[in-house]
Amino acid sequence: MDRDKILAAVDHTLLGQTATWAEIKEILDDSITYNAASACIPASYVKQAKEYVGDKLPICTVIGFPNGYSTTAVKVFETKDAIENGADEIDMVINIGLVKDKKYDLVKEEIEKIHEACNGKILKVIIETCLLTEEEKIKMCEVVTESGAEYIKTSTGFSTGGATFDDIALMKKYVGPNVKIKAAGGISSLDDAAKFMELGADRLGTSRIVKIVKSGKAINDNSY
């Protein structure tokens, strides 16, 4: 798999609590330079970021992040605010406690309301795989498929673990044909990125891949 194909799947990410505008700007510049799929940044920077990049780059932000236990009303408000500020893609965190209680109808209802608030923009649903059993992961594949969301996503990167090859293979097996997969959390090499994509990931949430390429060989050198 060539390097450009990997980069085109990357949501170049900076979500640390101490992120400054100078750091966000560098993420945006590098995302444009290396033709990333999007830049995934905190909601407080979305408006400034969109004004800075215009139509050169999709802006992604996170909702209910990283714990997912905000009320649905709060998540919907966050989503509408982000879209109004210029967000092109929304990555939301599910209410994991509801999954543990097997209240899957409520989880689905929340996703549907947030998807409606996206007003046609892409919604990625973070299920935080490291906190779920295999049975819960399979059920969430079904719930996300039924909800109409565009993507299912493994992880926030802020919990006890990130994406695994097994989780991507499981998602590929159980999500519907209209749901894409985003692997996120701990993706730290081009080889791993390529394997995630070969297993079925359509997007990669990572802060490292663009930095690896930026510090290495020329972008038009597709070997690694």
Say if residues 180 and 204 touch (Cβ distance below 8 Å).
Answer: no
CB atoms closer than 10 angstroms to residue 2: 12
Catalytic residue list contains 47: no
Q: Which region, left, alpha or beta, applies to residue 54 given φ > 0 means left and ψ of -120 to 50 means alpha?
A: left
Q: Which of 88, 91, 167, 192 is catalytic?
A: 91
Decide if 153 is catalytic: yes
Number of C-beta neighbours around residue 170 at 10 A: 18
CB 38 within 8 A of CB 17: no
Catalytic residue among 75, 108, 137, 182: 182
- Which of 153, 167, 180, 192 is an active site residue? 153
Residue 124 falls in the annotated catalytic set: no
Yes or no: say if 130 and 155 are a contact pair by the CB < 8 Å rule. Answer: yes
**Length reported for the chain:** 224
Amino acid found at 167: D
Give me the active site residues, please: 91, 153, 182
